[in-house]
């Protein structure tokens, strides 16, 4: 009896037409799709930048140092991801499991930062309903947060799998594909961080706003 392991789970030699693994190819195609998804939200943010009719404006509310820290945490999670994959491929089960857990923890810390930030903004009077900045900010970062959350759950599953010995060098592809997703979500955050926190950091009321406010 040969190992009747599904193509889905085990593929030592890629014998597809392109030589690329089908699941990996699909993950890449999916990320292309997700680029359009985030792209549309980011484009919306940029189009609406500086169009808020009332405050709080980005310059009054964004905490750049804090978000820089959380960005750093998320970047470190990508590093952990790389190490995790390395150890899983090498068959070092415990190290692999630990580094996957590190990804989960760092991702969770990032989400903690986001939760804190959302709450702070709420206290400072910025909600999705307050103004167009609130609308675009919360939905864009919230959608990203949802992606991170899904990644954390996925990585948690991977950690469990690794701990149980079901994630091995021969099917490390499972982790590699999850890693592609994780790195992608990470890169998207760098774009969001640049667009929202760095570029818009000094955005105040749009010019000519005063007359509209009294109106």
Partner 1 sequence: MTTKALTFPRIFPRPKATTGIWSWIGTVDHKRIGTLYGITSFIWFIVGGIEAIAIRAQLATPENDLIGPEMYNQLFTMHGTTMVFLVIMPLSAAFFNWLIPLQIGARDVAFPRLNALSFWIFLFGSLIINFSWLTGDAPNGGWFGYAPNSGITFNPGLGMTYWIVGLNVLGVASIAAGLNFIVTILNMRAPGMDMFKLPIFTWMTLVTSVLIVLALPILAVAGIQLQTDRIYGTHFFNSLGGGDPVMWQHIFWLFGHPEVYILILPAMGIVSEVLPTFARKPLFGYGFVVFAGIVIGFMGWFVWSHHMFTVGLGPAANTAFSVSTMLIAVPTGVKIFNWLGTLWGGSIRFNTPMLFSVSFIAMFTIGGLSGVIHASPPTDAQQQDTYFVVAHFHYVLVGGALLGIFSGIYFWWPKMTGYFLNEKLGIANWLLMMIGFNLQFAPMHWLGMDGMPRRIYTYAENMGWETSNAAASAGGIILGIGVLIFMINVWYSMRNKVEAGDDPWDGRTLEWSTSSPPPPHDFDEIPQVKYRDDFWFRKYPETISEYYHDHNEHDQAVPSGAQNDLEEENLPVVSGGSDDGHGGIHLPDMSYYPFILGVGVAGIGAGFLSNNAVLFVGVGILVWGMLGWSMEPVNDPEPEHD
Given the rule CB under 8 A, which residues bind partner 1?
1-10, 13, 15-18, 20, 22, 25-26, 29-30, 32-34, 36-37, 40-41, 44, 47-48, 51-53, 128-129, 131-132, 134-136, 138-139, 143, 157, 160-161, 164-166, 168, 170
Closer of 34 and 176 to partner 1 (Cβ): 34
Closer of 52 and 78 to partner 1 (Cβ): 52
Q: How far is the CB of 72 from partner 1 (least distance, A)?
A: 29
Q: Which residues contact 184 (CB under 8 A, 6 or more apart)?
A: 31, 34
The b/e string for 114-136 (b: 16+ C-beta within 10 A; e otherwise) is beebbeebeeeebebebbbbbbb
Distance in angstroms (rounded) separating the CA atoms of residues 11 and 7: 6
- Angle at which helix 173-192 crosses helix 22-47, to 10 degrees, equals 10
Closer of 70 and 130 to partner 1 (Cβ): 130
Instruction: Determine contact, residues 88/96, Cβ cutoff 8 Å.
Output: yes
**Eight-state DSSP code of residue 129:** T
Q: How far is the CB of 156 from partner 1 (least distance, A)?
A: 12
Closer of 37 and 116 to partner 1 (Cβ): 37
Q: How far is the CB of 75 from partner 1 (least distance, A)?
A: 25
């Amino acid at each position: 009896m040969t190992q009747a392991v599904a193509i889905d789970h085990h593929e030592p030699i890629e014998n597809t037409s392109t030589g690329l693994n089908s699941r990996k190819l699909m993950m890449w195609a999916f990320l292309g799709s997700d680029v359009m998804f985030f792209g549309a939200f980011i484009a919306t943010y940029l189009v609406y930048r500086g169009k808020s009719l009332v405050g709080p404006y980005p310059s009054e509310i964004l905490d750049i140092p804090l978000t820089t820290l959380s960005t750093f945490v998320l970047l470190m999670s990508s590093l952990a991801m790389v190490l995790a994959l390395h150890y899983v491929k090498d068959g070092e089960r415990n190290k692999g499991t630990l580094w996957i857990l590190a990804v989960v923890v760092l991702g969770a810390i990032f989400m903690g930062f986001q939760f804190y930030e959302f709450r702070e903004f709420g206290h400072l009077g910025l909600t999705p309903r307050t103004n167009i900045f609130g609308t675009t900010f919360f939905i864009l970062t919230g959608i990203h947060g949802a992606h991170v959350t899904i990644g954390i759950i996925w990585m948690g599953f991977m950690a469990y799998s690794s701990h149980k010995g079901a994630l091995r060098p021969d099917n490390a592809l499972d982790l590699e594909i999850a890693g592609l997703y994780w790195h992608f979500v990470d890169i998207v955050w760098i774009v969001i961080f640049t667009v929202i926190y760095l570029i818009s950091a000094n955005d105040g009321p749009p010019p000519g706003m005063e007359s509209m406010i009294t109106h």
